Structure 1
Amino acid sequence: MEDIECTKFETKAVHGRSGFEIRTGSISYPIYQSSTFRHEGLNKSTGYDYSRTANPTRDEVEKTVADLENGKACLAYSSGMAAISGILTIFASGDHIIVSDDLYGGTYRIFEEIYKNYGIEVTYTDTTNISNIEKEIKNNTKAIYLETPTNPLMKITDIKEVSKLSKKHNALLIVDNTFMTPYYQKPLNLGADIVIHSGTKYLCGHNDALAGFVILNDEKLTEKLRFIQNSIGAVLAPFDSWLILRGIKTLHIRLDRQQENAIKIADFLKKQEKVIKVLYPGLEEHEGHDILKNEASGFGGMISFYVDSKETVEKILERVKVIIFAESLGGVESLITYPYTQTHADIPDNIRQRLGVTDKLLRLSVGIENAQDLIKDLKRAIGTK
């Protein structure tokens, strides 16, 4: 196997790190569906011994994702939550982490229900205002954890500014880049120390694999995370690694279409009487529009919107036909989700209400279908005359 030289994102995505397998010339990188590997003799190894520690297919997807994020190293996990858990294991009892107050419910759950039991202290704040973060910093603050855009309220944080603050206080800056992907946003270039992806979403793109990724540049931190991952065993399987490699090949094409559709749908939703507010960073009136325009090359395919009543929510979820009522996001199919009872059900109701994750909020992951078909589907579901 050999590394190929390419500089543009699209070429890197299509060809991956190696481009092909040099031994056979296979264009589709092989699935090394083996748990163990033969040794030629005592103290002789091919570099692969046991797939929990290393597997050629997983190596290829890790190197490819690292290249796309402009990182030096990447670790592939069995899910996005496994990736987040892997990062949190580097912290010790008594450490303090500042976290975006609007974030995926599963991330909130792992902070509150799992790692608080190990003595990790967590403070949630609106990270869109840098002063909010600064006033929460303590002597034991070890990290700042951002979603940007946030899930589901699409709030934007200035990564460059938070990076300056984190470095000033010797804290790690961790950024979940799932919504934007490395095609639109590269947090490491903006000053982040660690980038997380739920590879299940846009990187996969076809709703057929679970995966998580952690990308970073620090060699010592990489070694520590690899030791932890190998010890715990939450690694990405060979077949799922191949599925992600396959998905990444079309990432840029899918995202451009999804964004194109999202802009049209956001404009449509703004004009609907039963839609109270549309949350999409691509809209010029969005509070974080200018920040994202400065730090990213696109606005993505995620839209959240408020409707006038819970009854309207129920009608939309029952009536959509082309758009599918299902959890998750980032696939070629358009999916609509009800955060209040699905992705954010584990967040206490008083917190949901304070943030704005109400029973009138819907989240739409825009797919690659024809935009007019999607708009017709929404028209019928909303009840537009």
Structure 2
Amino acid sequence: MHIQTVAVQALRENEQEHGAVVPPVHLASTFELDPATSDGTFSYQRGGNPTRAQLEQVLSAIEGGGRAFAFATGMAATSAAFSLLGAGDEVILSASVYGGTYRLVTEYFPHQGLGHRFVDDLGELDDDSFTESTRMVFIETPANPTLRVTDLRRIVELAHAHGALVVVDNTFMTPVLQRPLDLGADLVVQSATKYLAGHSDLLAGVATTRDDALADRIGLAQKAYGAVLSPFDSYRLIQDVKTLPLRLERQQASAVEIAEHLRGHDAIAAVLTPGSHSAEEAAIQASQATGPGAVLSFELDPAVDRVRFLEALQIPAFAVSLGGVESLICHPASMTHEAMTPEAREVAGISDELLRLSVGIEDVRDLIADLDQALAAAR
């Protein structure tokens, strides 16, 4: 079945006994067990909950199989991925990795005996890039917020040849547009706060794998760390996922139109989209994803005052996050990537003039008109 059908129908068989078309919410923190064996499908909510289990079934279904684990935040899912590493292990990441991941790696890895190495371009990795300590490559493709594209098939083959895992943060693309597990990745993480939830009203994360041994370790991390998604938020996310393909289709179409409009505007110095860096990256994006997604970044012409531009906007809210039905615009250097040093941001290609726009489901004509009037006001 196509993903839109799967998103809606994944739980249909679960409720045939009652005929309910919407699953119930199980709020219990503890569950009655068999006195003779102390056994039961569920015992304590941190270890498992019927509503969270149903959500994980849906998340696995839209990913195309495997086992999915729902966390309280995207960073909790990423932390669970890094729990696969042991003291002395090293992970390779892109220099433009999400600021929250950068903070986790730079602030906490040293205390855990874990190594990390940021590289300017993951596409330039080769055999010499790996050492005996390299146990993971962590990829965002497209990268946040530069939207650089990494060839997942090539990195998977290279990393596996050196005994390293490949973890992909697929938040920007979602399984609607990109399936890293199909391309050989070992684990996929997402901030479900973004497109999966899509309404800027809950925090959630998900990790998915088709490797049973890895799944057992992620499940243990979920239970041991305790950063699990609540039953009510699990229920809400089940409902939100049903409209994910529809929302993303509208958002992506508008983002493509806005990017083309801005490229022709004399107040814009540069527009960044997946594949815009080079013809090679455009070909890679086309080969591993079915679209560019709904996030774009751009730099203003020096003659345009950035603060005045942002103040003049009437539709996009000046706020962090992305993927919601409402358009959001942010200044990565001072917001999403403020944990980075100025030197690290320069290496990553995140200039002080770069803005990131997450396109919502508003009418694209209104969004373009609003951008135009704000640019005019800020000259």
The answer to whether 1:358 aligns with 2:330 is no
The answer to whether 1:221 aligns with 2:210 is no
Give the CA deviation at 1:31. Answer: 1.2
Cα pair 2:120 2:347 within 8 Å, conserved: no
* Further displaced range: 250-259 or 66-75: 66-75
Structure 2 match to 1:13: 7
Give the CA deviation at 1:235. Answer: 0.6
Structure 1 residue runs of 4+, over 6 Å off? none
Give the CA deviation at 1:358. Answer: 1.3
Cα pair 1:21 1:30 within 8 Å, conserved: no
Cα pair 2:93 2:122 within 8 Å, conserved: no
Cα pair 2:326 2:359 within 8 Å, conserved: yes
1:83-121: per-residue Cα shift (whole Å, max 9, x none)?
111111121111011111111100100001112211111
In structure 1, C-alpha distance between the alignment counterparts of 2:40 and 2:297, rounded to whole Å: 49
* Further displaced range: 212-221 or 133-142: 133-142
Corresponding residue to 1:81 among 75, 80, 93: 75
1:259-291: per-residue Cα shift (whole Å, max 9, x none)?
110011001111111210100126696662211
- Give the counterpart letter for 1:90 in structure 2: L
Structure 2 match to 1:317: 310
- Give the counterpart letter for 2:331 in structure 1: Y
SS at match of 2:180: coil
Structure 2: gaps spanning 5 or more residues: none
* Further displaced range: 311-320 or 248-257: 311-320
Corresponding residue to 1:186 among 157, 179, 182: 179
TM-score (norm 2): 0.95
Identity %: 38
Q: Kindly indicate whether structure 1 or structure 2 has the higher relative contact order, using CA contacts under 8 Å at least 6 residues apart.
A: 2
- Write out aligned runs for 1:241-252 (5 A): 241-252=234-245
Corresponding residue to 2:115 among 117, 121, 124: 121
The answer to whether 1:279 aligns with 2:269 is no
Corresponding residue to 1:204 among 197, 200, 204: 197
Give the CA deviation at 1:217. Answer: 1.1
In structure 2, C-alpha distance between the alignment counterparts of 1:207 and 1:310, rounded to whole Å: 33
Give the CA deviation at 1:308. Answer: 2.0
Give the CA deviation at 1:37. Answer: 1.3
Corresponding residue to 2:290 among 286, 297, 301: 297
The answer to whether 1:339 aligns with 2:332 is yes
Give the CA deviation at 1:28. Answer: 1.3
- Give the counterpart letter for 1:259 in structure 2: Q
In structure 1, C-alpha distance between the alignment counterparts of 2:169 and 2:257, rounded to whole Å: 26
- Give the counterpart letter for 1:292 in structure 2: Q
- Give the counterpart letter for 2:195 in structure 1: Y
TM-score (norm 1): 0.94
Q: Give the direction of change, closer, same or farther, for the CA distance of 1:12–1:30 in structure 2 (3 Å limit).
A: same
Cα pair 2:12 2:21 within 8 Å, conserved: no
In structure 2, C-alpha distance between the alignment counterparts of 1:180 and 1:201, rounded to whole Å: 10
* Further displaced range: 188-197 or 222-231: 222-231
Cα pair 1:203 1:248 within 8 Å, conserved: yes
Q: Give the direction of change, closer, same or farther, for the CA distance of 1:19–1:323 in structure 2 (3 Å limit).
A: farther
The answer to whether 1:59 aligns with 2:53 is yes
Q: Give the direction of change, closer, same or farther, for the CA distance of 1:352–1:282 in structure 2 (3 Å limit).
A: closer
Structure 2 match to 1:4: none
Give the CA deviation at 1:205. Answer: 0.6
1:182-208: per-residue Cα shift (whole Å, max 9, x none)?
000000001100001000000001111
Question: RMSD of the alignment, in Å?
Answer: 1.8
Structure 1 match to 2:323: 330
Q: Give the direction of change, closer, same or farther, for the CA distance of 1:377–1:86 in structure 2 (3 Å limit).
A: same
SS at match of 1:210: coil
Structure 1: gaps spanning 5 or more residues: 1-6
Structure 2 match to 1:71: 65
Corresponding residue to 1:175 among 160, 168, 184: 168
Between structures 1 and 2, the one with greater helix share: 2
Give the CA deviation at 1:228. Answer: 2.1
In structure 1, C-alpha distance between the alignment counterparts of 2:142 and 2:277, rounded to whole Å: 15
> Would you say how many aligned residue pairs link Structure 1 and Structure 2?
378
In structure 2, C-alpha distance between the alignment counterparts of 1:19 and 1:268, rounded to whole Å: 46
Structure 1 match to 2:85: 91
Give the CA deviation at 1:16. Answer: 2.4
- Give the counterpart letter for 2:43 in structure 1: D
SS at match of 2:334: coil
Cα pair 2:8 2:242 within 8 Å, conserved: yes
- Write out aligned runs for 1:156-175 (5 A): 156-175=149-168
1:341-379: per-residue Cα shift (whole Å, max 9, x none)?
000000011111222211100000001110000001101
- Give the counterpart letter for 1:140 in structure 2: S
In structure 2, C-alpha distance between the alignment counterparts of 1:48 and 1:355, rounded to whole Å: 45
In structure 1, C-alpha distance between the alignment counterparts of 2:290 and 2:182, rounded to whole Å: 13
Cα pair 1:127 1:133 within 8 Å, conserved: no
- Give the counterpart letter for 2:214 in structure 1: L
Structure 2 match to 1:264: 257
Give the CA deviation at 1:24. Answer: 2.2
Q: Give the direction of change, closer, same or farther, for the CA distance of 1:125–1:71 in structure 2 (3 Å limit).
A: farther
- Give the counterpart letter for 1:373 in structure 2: D
SS at match of 1:111: helix
The answer to whether 1:42 aligns with 2:36 is yes
